[in-house]
Amino acid sequence: MKIKTRSLVSNDPILQKLQKCYNLNTLKQAHAQVVATGLSLQTYYLSHLLNTSSKFSSTYAITIFNRIPSPTVFLYNTLISSFSRHKDQIHLAFSLYNQILVHKTLQPNSFTFPSLFKACGFGSWLQYGPSLHAHVLKFLQPPYDHFVNNSLLKFYAEYGKLCVSRYLFNQINEPDLVIWNTMLAAYAKSASHVSDSTSLQDADMSLEALYLFRGMQLSQRKPNEVTLIALITACSNLGALSQGAWAHGYVLRNNLELNLVVGTTLVDMYSKCGSLNLACQLFDQLTERDTFCYTAMIGGFAIHGHGGQALELYRKMKLEGLVPSDATIVVTMYACSHGGLVEEGLAIFESMKSVHGMEPNLQHYGCLIDLLGRAGRLKEAKERLEAMPMKPNAILWRSLLGAAKLHGNIEIGETALKHLIELEPETSGSYVLLSNMYASIGQWNDMKRMRMKMKDRGVDKLPGFSLVDINGAMHEFLTGDKAHPLSNEIYMKIGEINRRLQEYGHKPRTSEVLFDVEEEDKEDVLSYHSERLAIAFALIASPSSFPIRIIKNLRVCGDCHAITKLISVAYKRDIIVRDRNRFHHFKDGSCSCLDYW
């Protein structure tokens, strides 16, 4: 009987006419037919009429709704759902919700709230979500519908209260696949909001995504495309190559479709996990490639310092008729900047308006300032920055400060710091850059003045941490960390490394130590930077034929960069470090960045 009923509904001429409406006039004709056939009082047909009319005119939809003698909650929900999909109609959705609340006999149900929580995801409407949650508690009896649970999890993740999402998730008995995916995606997305992992919290969220996935496996839920994308994204954030490769293998083992979205996510993951060759192989294997896919691969070349290959791929993408996006321009200019391709990068920036009709945003100007600054064209970089059509943010001034340090231009460095202190008075990195610049040219009094200014303002240096992948397990180290189970062995290895480095003539750059300690103690401070602890552990715990892969939240300091080059030759190990700016491939005593980072 159900099959017959569905067949009759799908062949209903009135519903077919509503489905074929393409503007307000055709809708009015269908509406007239609904009225003429006496179906305008039947809830089922009214719901279709309201849903269709809201696509063309919210005013027309409201007019129809207001003429219904006694609308049911079902009809209210239909129109609330339709209005919740459009930013400019959200106020109408909440207006209808308020009508339910003041109605004598109606009250919201499990179909009302998911649409409203979705509406709360738009900008200023976010603030109404917690009140809406209170209404869920008032009107609905637990356990809640899966749709309600899922909408709550999504809302609190968007609201920046991931801990609340997780608490609610833990209250759900037997979460379905959609709910698992929502939590996985929430953790992966939260960590991805900061493109360069700058805090331990970001790493912890990505690790939590991996733990969640493990829990999902134990619950016997079979992952789908959404699950895998969230998992692979978390692996990208962490640099967890083993787990990312496992996800790729899962797709192949289970004959799942390696479609464009999954393929692009894997290309991005392999690039960010330091395996550029695998990213290239996968990119070449994809039968379909769009702008997003090209952008991921160009970005991979960029962060690994292969400017020429990034530029070549950018040109190939355009030859294939694909239009570069904002993100494509950013990663290509980034590649030009780190590859010393100044004129090529400038040409791409100028082509945004003249060729593609795109207005440069802050990110594009950031790439421009970095491009000119790294090339030593500081005066031009400063002039471009000051002539921008929008107010420069802290990132742009910090880029100029970094370039000033690189080229020893105190005047421009001090100008940049002045603006940075106005914009971000509590950010340590800016003070550290200028302080180190003073130290590098022997202006010790100015260096001390800068460090005193940090103390006076209560600015603390951002703690460094590093992650290293050993046999598929992520090990986390803080600067000076002694919490690892093999801490004694690690510190003994540090001592051995220091002795071997002395044989190669290494002298620690103690000027880069920010702390107020005695000179003889500064060498120890440098020795226990987080990446050195991670390298020491990897030398102990991994086979000598394996490359060491490390993710660091801060820019690699000059001393650590120098000693890692020496370790690569002394211990005959390839070491790949991803810091907040780029990848460094250390091999045989040299680095892929050519000491320009």
Residue 440 C-beta-side C-alpha neighbours within 13 Å: 17
- pLDDT, residue 271, reads 95
Q: Is the dihedral of CA 440, 444, 446, 452 positive or negative?
A: positive
Give the closest residue to 123 by CA, choosing from 86, 162, 165: 86
User: Token pair for residue 329?
Assistant: 């321009």
DSSP 479-501: TT---STTHHHHHHHHHHHHHHH
CA distance 101 to 582: 54
Give the closest residue to 552 by CA, choosing from 583, 573, 523, 522: 583
- pLDDT, residue 4, reads 40
CA distance 201 to 193: 12
Helix, strand or coil, per DSSP, at residue 583? strand
Instruction: State which H helix or E strand residue 277 sits in.
Output: helix 276-285
- List the end-to-end C-alpha distance of the chain, in Å, as a whole number: 70
- pLDDT, residue 526, reads 55
Q: What's the length of the chain? A: 597
CA distance 405 to 420: 15
Give how far the C-alpha of residue 312 lies from the chain's centroid of Cα atoms, to the nearest Å: 26
Instruction: State which H helix or E strand residue 10 sits in.
Output: helix 2-10
pTM score, whole prediction: 0.82
| Residue 359, amino acid | E
Q: Are 60 and 27 in contact (CB under 8 A)?
A: yes
Helix, strand or coil, per DSSP, at residue 24? helix
Give the closest residue to 361 by CA, choosing from 316, 396, 336, 332: 396
Give the closest residue to 208 by CA, choosing from 472, 474, 462: 474
For residue 270, which phi and psi values (nearest 5 degrees)? Answer: -60, -40
CA distance 419 to 423: 6
Instruction: Return the number of other C-beta atoms located less than 10 Å from residue 333's C-beta.
Output: 28
The highest-level CATH class for domain 361-462 is: mainly alpha
Range(s) within the chain of domains with CATH label 1.25.40.10: 361-462
User: Token pair for residue 283?
Assistant: 């990119």
Beta bridge partners of 466: 477, 552
- pLDDT, residue 449, reads 79
What does the DSSP 8-state code read for residue 515? S
- pLDDT, residue 2, reads 40
- Mean pLDDT of successive 10-residue stretches along the chain, which has 597 residues: 42 84 88 87 88 90 91 95 92 95 94 95 90 96 92 94 95 94 92 54 83 92 93 90 92 89 96 94 95 97 93 96 96 92 96 93 95 94 94 91 86 88 74 74 77 72 83 87 92 92 74 44 60 95 92 85 93 92 90 79
- pLDDT, residue 212, reads 94
Helix, strand or coil, per DSSP, at residue 551? strand
Distance (Å) of CA 427 to CA 48, 326, 423, 454, 581: 55, 28, 9, 9, 17
- pLDDT, residue 275, reads 92
- pLDDT, residue 293, reads 97
